[in-house]
Amino acid sequence: MANPRKPKAKKILEGTWRKDRNPVREPEYVTPESGEVKPPAGLNRWAKKFWKDHFSMLTDSGVLTVADLPQFHQLCLAWGNYCEADYAIHHGDDGTKRTTVEYRKERGYSRQYMPEMIERRESFDQFCKLCQQFGMTPASRNKIDLAPKNKEEISDTERIMNEVNGG
């Protein structure tokens, strides 16, 4: 199976865009304003906090567009589900704190009796996969160059190399 095609905006950010290898009629979407889009009503408290903390950062960098909002919503849901399952593991029914070992003892060490552990793992896996799509991991962020290229700002090494090479 072939790799999925990267959008033009991502290629431009990475510095790999070439006109001869880009589709002629690729759709271009606008970046939403920070105050324009509010968190959806179905998100839990952790997902809403994640939305508020990361929405403006992703829109300001140009990574998040209007077309990406449903996938960003899924990212927030995955984080919210992970936090909810983690809270259920580390807090008893009466609200007292407990360790993971205490939780496992209470549930009987069998996976079929630990739905919160399964939910936490699956939500975290989904969260990690979606984070890579938005450039929110060190490896995926390393592929994107968001710094504007100004010819006026030349590093000392480049200046010395230009002087040596006569440029």
Residue type, 79: W
Across residues 135-158, what is the average pLDDT? 67
Q: At what angle do helices 115-133 and 69-90 cross, to 10 degrees?
A: 150
Q: For residue range 28-42, what is the model confidence (pLDDT) as tens digits?
A: 777 887 667 888 999
Beta partners for 91? 97
Task: Count the domains in the chain.
Answer: 1
pLDDT of residue 152: 56
- Identify the domain containing residue 102 by its residue range: 8-21+39-145
Is 105 inside a domain boundary? yes
Could you report the per-residue pLDDT of 3-20, keeping only the tens digit for each?
Answer: 777 777 677 777 887 878
Position 156 in a domain: no
97 strand-pairing partners: 91
125 belongs to a structural domain: yes
| C-alpha–C-alpha distance, residues 150 and 145, integer Å | 13
What's the pLDDT tens digit per position in 87-115?
A: 999 998 888 999 988 888 888 877 667 88
Q: Is residue 112 part of a domain?
A: yes
pLDDT of 92: 86
Banded pLDDT at 154 (limits 50, 70, 90): low
- pLDDT at residue 48 above 90? yes
Percentage of residues in the chain with pLDDT exceeding 90? 32
Residue 29 domain-assigned? no
Average pLDDT of span 53-72: 88
| Domain membership flag for residue 32 | no
| Structure confidence at residue 123 (pLDDT) | 96
Residue 152 in any domain: the answer is no
Indicate whether 150 belongs to any domain.
Answer: no
Residues 44 and 100: their CA atoms lie apart, in Å, by 23
Q: What integer is the mean pLDDT of 127-138?
A: 89
